[in-house]
Amino acid sequence: MLLAIPAGSEDELRGFSVGVLGMSEVAEPPALAARGGLWVRADRLELHLGVEAGFQPARKAHPGIRVRALDAFAAHLAAHGVAVEWDESLFPGHRRCSASDPVGNRLEFIERDADVPTW
């Protein structure tokens, strides 16, 4: 998944992605690293944060990130000063909340109830 970021925001996003979300930084291929940006990974999720001229935060288009223990995760975000918005309108058997990264990109966090089949 690719999210755009403004030039010069890599350190701030590294602090958020690695320090708050608990992801690991992944080395970019040298040709891409020269353009700026940041790649991070957790389990099967890999996010590429790429520098884009004329950056606009992604509010509608966003990654849906599956997590376990959503309440604890949301509390962890809040403890780090990240505003969390709950949305119970997804579909039965799933809960979700959203938060924004430091540059305003929307991130959605989803937890599936234990008794709902995996999709």
E-state strands within the chain: 2-5, 24-26, 38-42, 45-51, 64-66, 85-87, 94-100, 106-112
Helices (H), the chain: 10-14, 30-33, 70-79
Tally the domains of the chain: 1
- The pLDDT, as a whole number, for residue 98 is 95
The answer as to whether 117 is a domain residue is no
Domain CATH number, residue 48: 3.10.180.10
pLDDT tens digit sequence for 52-86 = 999 999 888 898 899 989 999 999 999 999 999 99
Other beta carbons less than 10 A from residue 24's beta carbon:
11
pTM: 0.88
- The pLDDT, as a whole number, for residue 21 is 95
The answer as to whether 18 is a domain residue is yes
pLDDT tens digit sequence for 30-54 = 888 888 999 999 998 999 999 999 9
Q: Do 106 and 59 contact (CB within 8 A), yes or no? A: yes
Q: Report which DSSP code applies to 118.
A: P
- The pLDDT, as a whole number, for residue 1 is 83
The answer as to whether 119 is a domain residue is no
pLDDT tens digit sequence for 3-13 = 999 999 999 99
Other beta carbons less than 10 A from residue 46's beta carbon:
14
The answer as to whether 118 is a domain residue is no
- The pLDDT, as a whole number, for residue 61 is 86
The answer as to whether 39 is a domain residue is yes
